[in-house]
Amino acid sequence: MEFQFFHGNITKEKCEELLSKVGINGSFLLRDSETVPGALCLCVFYEHLIYTYRILRKSNGHFMMQTSEGTPRHVFRTLNCLIDNYKKPNQGLVINLCYPVNRCPYYQETQTVYVTKEEAYEDPGKRSIIIKVVKYLYISN
């Protein structure tokens, strides 16, 4: 899947950990459902709680959000259309989608990397430390 905020087969607990770490209302990510094969879960952070909305793919390839009885169901041609729709306020979610929580492009799991001071430099534009890894050592417990 082309979305950076799609985390694939992560657990509900890992999802909650990632969203809680960000801790901003409207933060969201997409993951595979643990209980319904082929379904996706749209997980949204709001007021220290994680709300999960199941997304189902219809036989014609279109997507729809699973809703409670009596709520209108909207069908979207693409997953991108569905996400774009729920970025708008008052579309039926607890809060609109504002801040995608992207997966790490290199590693899914956190790894401890040891570097020397010479191998790291500060990126003033992003206020972060960039690590140039020339030699590294992974320590596993």
Name the residue with higher pLDDT: 141 or 25.
25
**Which amino acid is present at 137?**
L
pLDDT at 110 over 80: no
For residues 103-123, average pLDDT: 50
Work out the percent of the chain whose per-residue pLDDT is above 70. Answer: 71
Which strand ranges, in their side-by-side order, compose the sheet holding 75-76?
75-76, 63-65, 49-57, 40-46, 27-32, 99-100
Distance CA 45, CA 23 (A): 7
Distance CA 17, CA 23 (A): 10
Q: What is the pTM of this model?
A: 0.71
Residues recorded for the chain: 141
Distance CA 91, CA 20 (A): 23
In a domain, 70, yes or no: yes
- pLDDT mean across residues, the chain: 80
CB within 8 Å of 130: residues ≥ 6 apart: 120, 121, 122, 123
* Residue the block writes with tokens 């596993």: 140
Range of the domain at 46: 12-100
Total structural domains within the chain: 1
Distance CA 33, CA 8 (A): 9
pLDDT at 125 over 80: no
pLDDT at 76 over 90: yes
pLDDT at 69 over 90: no
In a domain, 39, yes or no: yes
pLDDT digits (tens, 9 = 90+) for 6-28: 999 999 999 999 999 999 999 99
Enter the tokens of residue 112: 């401890």
Instruction: Tell me the sheet residues that pair with 136.
Output: none
DSSP per residue over 15-74, as a string? HHHHHHHH--TTEEEEEE-SSSTT-EEEEEEETTEEEEEEEEE-TTS-EEE---TTS---
In a domain, 127, yes or no: no
> What is the structure's pLDDT at 70?
67
CATH number at residue 29: 3.30.505.10
